[in-house]
Amino acid sequence: MTKDIERYMREAIQLSIDNIDNNGGPFGAVIVKGGKIIAKGVNRVTMDVDPTAHAEVNAIREASKVLGTFDLEGCEIYSSCEPCPMCLGAIYWAHLDKLYFANTKQDAKEIEFDDSFIYEEIEQPLADRKIPTKQILREEALEAFNKWKEKEDKIEY
C-alpha cells in the first residue's frame, strides 16, 4: 500500500474523529483526483437535519461542485467506514474509480449504526416490506420515460 493511500485514509479517519466534537456522526470521507484531495465530507445528519447528509454523499456533492460535473470518473473515495447502502449507491452513480474504507459495517453495527435491515428489506417482496409499498399509475408515469427515450439532445448520466 502506498503512503499516499494511507495519507488519504488518515485524513478521512481524522475527519470522522473531529466530527464527533462538532456534534456530527463518527464518519468522514475524502475524494482524490490526480493525487490531490478535491473534496471532504463528514456526517452532518443531525446538524443539517437531513438523513441523506452522510460523509460520502457530502464529499460527492462537494467534488461535483469543484469539478463542475456529476461524473466523478478518475476520482477515488476514501471513507472512514464501509459505506451504507445509500452511500454505496451514490458512489456507483457518481462513477468513482475506487473505494477505500477503514471501519467495517460490522464495526458500525457494534456502535448502533446498523444498516443490515436495509439490505434485508431490499430483498423482500414489496408486500412484505416494513414500509407499505404499492406500485400505482405506471402507465401514466411511462410518459416521462418515453419522452426521455425519444429526446435527442439529452444529457445522459
Tens digits of per-residue pLDDT, 62-116? 999 999 999 999 999 999 999 999 999 999 999 999 999 999 999 999 999 999 9
Catalytic residue among 6, 56, 76, 120: 56
Q: What average pLDDT does the chain have?
A: 96
Burial of 48-72, coded b for 16+ CB within 10 Å and e otherwise, reads: eeeeebbbbbbbbbbbbeebeeeeb
Q: Identify the pLDDT of residue 157.
A: 82
Residues in the chain: 157
Known catalytic membership, residue 152: no
Q: Which of 30-34, 59-63, 121-125 has the lowest mean pLDDT?
A: 121-125
C-alpha cell at 154: 439529452
Portion of the chain with pLDDT greater than 90, in percent = 95
